[in-house]
Amino acid sequence: MNRVIKVLKLGASSGRRGAGRGRALVAGGAGFLGSHLCERLLGDGYEVIALDNFHTGKRYNLTGIAGDASFTCIKHDVVDALPGDFAVDEIYNLACPASPPHYQADPIHTFKTSVLGSINLLDLARRHGAKIFQASTSEVYGDPLVHPQPEGYFGNVNTHGPRSCYDEGKRSAETLFFDYSRTYGIDVRVARIFNTYGPRMQPDDGRVVSNFIVQALRGEDITVYGSGTQTRSFCFVEDLIEGFMRLMNAPVAPQHPVNLGNPVEFTIMELAELVVDYTNSRSRIVHRPLPVDDPRQRKPDISFARQHLGWEPKVALSEGLAHTTAYFDALLGGRRSVGSRSAARSSVHVAVGS
């Protein structure tokens, strides 16, 4: 007997592939990106089924859509055989813990999630002729020797370090996606996502933007690993989800992964100073040793997305930080004022329950 637990009301089965735009399945739908994607798909007229094992996803991320008759959420681990033969038109595979502390907590399960989860979903796509999207990552470039990183760069990745379960798992998933496409002719879309931030990141997930904001709001020391001269680019979640839609809806499937991220580059020190400034925090910036295999620089070359998808990020870091800071301030109980700017511009509602 499988362990399917329906956590939210199952939408009425129409006996066909959804109403409107069709039926989409989102694996990892209760996570940071997944919950925004589910909202977007519902808004665009899709019937949406989310699968999630709630490892890092939260039920409260789905509060805004839980009552929607076109939305269903099923508790399920994608490593296991799927709990049903869902007749879907589109599949989005976002299931995988994304932050280092979470994906390193059980590295073997992380690797299985990328490999076995992809196989289970690719087989579903094959059975139903569905288009399938993979959330890959800039981590496939490892500590890159080419800067910025174009899609044609094969990367510089450690096969056996503590980050390898994630990096190599995602690389293997890319292999599977294109092998299924070549072998069975299914329509695959693979996005290499660069550092994305926004409301619904977890306060404890160890990612740099959420770490800094939470530390600043709590008045704790802001921990910069290494000198802080390493660079990252930060994409606001709304921009990224628009990129997902454009990639999925492009009339011709690109025959390779596509970089999606913000090419504007910041050093980690610049980010820390911006967050301290923005939150009016009295936090001090302190330095800690750099973790193993921490990449020195990351910046996407988004020429392909610009040219073929007409996509590029629109939201400036200052604006994205305003929304994100307001979210965390509310999540943490609104103990600090983060400035009327952010409070007025944010439309984020947080219900903390689970």
Ligand X SMILES: NC(=O)c1ccc[n+]([C@@H]2O[C@H](COP(=O)([O-])OP(=O)(O)OC[C@H]3O[C@@H](n4cnc5c(N)ncnc54)[C@H](O)[C@@H]3O)[C@@H](O)[C@H]2O)c1
User: Of 139-168, which residues contact ligand X (CB under 6 A)?
Assistant: none
Q: Does 30 bind ligand X (CB under 6 A)?
A: yes
Q: Is the dihedral of CA 193, 51, 210, 99 positive or negative?
A: negative
Residues 42, 49, 62, 95: which binds ligand X (CB under 6 A)? 95
Give me 344's structure tokens. Answer: 């007025």
Minimal distance in Å, beta carbon 19 to ligand X? 26
- Contact track, ligand X, 195-224, x by CB under 6 A: xx----------------------------
User: Of 99-128, which residues contact ligand X (CB under 6 A)?
Assistant: 113, 117
Question: What letter would DSSP give residue 26?
Answer: E
Contacts for 93 with CB less than 8 Å, ≥ 6 apart:
27, 28, 78, 117, 118, 121, 132, 133, 134, 135, 173
Q: Which stretch binds ligand X (CB under 6 A): 30-38, 124-132, 150-158, 339-347?
A: 30-38
Composition of the chain by helix, strand, coil, percent to 5: 40, 20, 45
Residues 70, 118, 120, 137: which binds ligand X (CB under 6 A)? 137
Minimal distance in Å, beta carbon 117 to ligand X? 6
Residues 94, 115, 315, 331: which binds ligand X (CB under 6 A)? 94
Check 46, 92, 141, 166 and give the catalytic one.
166
Cα first-last separation, the chain? 26
- 121 touches 27 (CB < 8 A): yes
Minimal distance in Å, beta carbon 308 to ligand X? 20
HEC profile for 250-280? CCCCCCCCEEECCCCEEEHHHHHHHHHHHHC
Our measurement of the distance from residue 343's CA atom to the centroid of its chain's CA atoms, rounded to an integer in Å, reads 25
Give me 80's structure tokens. Answer: 């296991």
| Residues β-bridged to residue 190 | 134
User: Of 66-85, which residues contact ligand X (CB under 6 A)?
Assistant: 77-79
Q: Is 269 exposed, middle or buried (0-12, 13-18, 19+ CB in 10 A)?
A: middle
Active site residue 166: yes
Residue closer to ligand X (CB basis): 18 or 169:
169
Report residue 300: phi and psi, to 5°: -80, 140
Q: Which stretch binds ligand X (CB under 6 A): 24-32, 41-49, 246-254, 274-282?
A: 24-32
Residues 17, 25, 26, 32: which binds ligand X (CB under 6 A)? 32
Residue closer to ligand X (CB basis): 23 or 36:
36
Question: What letter would DSSP give residue 149?
Answer: B
Residue closer to ligand X (CB basis): 28 or 228:
28
User: Of 34-63, which residues contact ligand X (CB under 6 A)?
Assistant: 34, 51-57
Residue closer to ligand X (CB basis): 94 or 326:
94
Contacts to ligand X by CB under 6 A:
27-28, 30-34, 51-57, 77-79, 94-98, 113, 117, 135, 137, 193, 195-196
Residues recognised as catalytic: 166
